[in-house]
């Protein structure tokens, strides 16, 4: 069988921006891709630090995003503030279990999956673990893929408050929680994008 080798073992570099393989002829201080002119790094610099920083930011922001109300509705039935979890429970009670499950996945399950998965990747990379490297790479790709779907609640709140604008009958307005939630989505996406999956495969001694 053939042996699989990493790029640096055979004197090559990868430009992660355009996917071009480059042979490392002269080691210069500031190597650039001859095709797209982006900087070429052996591994993304400060990858784990940036990932951890954005992850912590995401987790901190997730608290006010859930505690503070995301929407304020007023109308003939009175006034009410609703949080993300409150909204999910309301849908569930009203019999719209499908919407409840969908919002639960987008607003609770996806962020938690990201927190746990990125945390797991960071810990195992830090410990130089060789455990299930293939599965961990898949995990990373899943985190990358689900990144944007938490934005769902922000969009639903925005559309609802854009539509419900009847002074007497009912209005809906966004509340602070939604801004925090939007920030959580951005922070977790930046966290996932900062992570360099090649670190999973590196054998550092």
Partner 1 sequence: MRRQRRFADCNARICSNEQTTLTMELPDARQSTLVNTVLICRDCDTVYRALTLRRGDVALCRRCESVLSRYVGTDAESGLALVIAAAIFFAIANLTPILSIEVGGVETKANIWFAVLSLQQGWISVAAFGLAFTTFLIPAAQILLLLWVLLFARAKRRPPGFGPVMKLLHRIRPWSMTEVFLLGALVAIVKLANWVHITAGAGIWAMAGLTVVLAILGRCDPAAWWSIGARRRPWSS
Residue 160-189 contact track with partner 1, rule CB under 8 A, x = bound: xxxxxxx--xx--xxxx-xx-xxx-xx--x
Residue 2 beta carbon to partner 1: minimum distance, rounded to whole angstroms: 4
Q: For partner 1, which is the closer residue by CB, 46 or 166? A: 166
Q: Does 48 bind partner 1 (CB under 8 A)?
A: no
CB contact at 8 A, 44 and 15: no
Q: For residue 97, how many other CB atoms are within 10 A of its CB?
A: 12
**Residues contacting residue 194 through CB under 8 Å, at least 6 positions apart:** 44, 47, 50, 51, 54
Compare residues 49 and 135 and give the one whose CB is closer to partner 1: 135
Contact (CB, 8 A) for 53 and 34:
no
Please state the closest distance from residue 193 (CB atom) to partner 1, in A. Answer: 6
Cβ distance 13 to 24 under 8 Å? yes
By the 10 Å C-beta count (0-12 exposed, 13-18 middle, 19+ buried), 146 is classed as buried
- Options 32-40, 55-63, 109-117, 118-126: segment touching partner 1 (CB under 8 A): 32-40
Are 73 and 79 in contact by the 8 Å Cβ rule? The answer is yes
Residue 34 or residue 123: which is nearer to partner 1 going by CB? 34
Closest separation between CB of residue 157 and partner 1, Å?
Answer: 8
Task: For helices 47-67 and 110-126, give the axis angle rounded to 10 degrees.
Answer: 150
Site for partner 1 in 3-22 (CB under 8 A): 3-12, 14, 16-22
What CA–CA distance (Å, rounded) separates 93 from 102?
Answer: 15
Give DSSP secondary structure letters for 48-78: HHHHHHHHHHHHHHHHHHHHS-SEEEEETTE
Pick the closer one to partner 1 by CB: 8 or 112: 8
Closest approach, Cβ 205 to partner 1, in A, equals 17
Interactions with partner 1, residue window 106-135 (CB under 8 A):
133-134
Shortest distance (Å) from residue 120 CB to partner 1:
16
Pick one of 46, 67, 96, 116: the residue that binds partner 1 (CB under 8 A).
Answer: 96
């Amino acid at each position: 069988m053939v042996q699989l080798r990493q790029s640096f073992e055979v004197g090559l570099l990868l430009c992660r921006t355009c996917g071009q393989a480059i042979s490392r002829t002269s080691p210069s201080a500031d190597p650039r891709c001859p095709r797209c002119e982006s900087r070429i790094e052996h591994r993304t610099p400060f990858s784990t630090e940036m990932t951890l920083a954005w992850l912590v930011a995401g987790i901190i922001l997730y608290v006010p995003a859930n505690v503070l109300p995301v929407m304020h509705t007023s109308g003939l039935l009175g006034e009410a503030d609703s949080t993300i979890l409150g909204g999910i429970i309301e849908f569930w009670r009203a019999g719209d279990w499908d919407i409840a499950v969908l919002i639960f996945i987008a607003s609770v399950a996806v962020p938690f999956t990201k927190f746990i998965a990125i945390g797991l990747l960071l810990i195992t990379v830090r410990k130089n673990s060789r455990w299930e490297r293939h599965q961990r790479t898949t995990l990373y790709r899943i985190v990358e893929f689900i990144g944007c779907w938490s934005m769902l609640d922000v969009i639903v709140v925005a559309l609802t408050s854009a539509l419900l604008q009847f002074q007497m009958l009912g209005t809906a307005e966004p509340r602070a929680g939604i801004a925090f939630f939007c920030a959580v989505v951005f922070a977790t996406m930046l966290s996932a994008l900062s992570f360099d999956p090649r670190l999973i495969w590196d054998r550092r001694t």
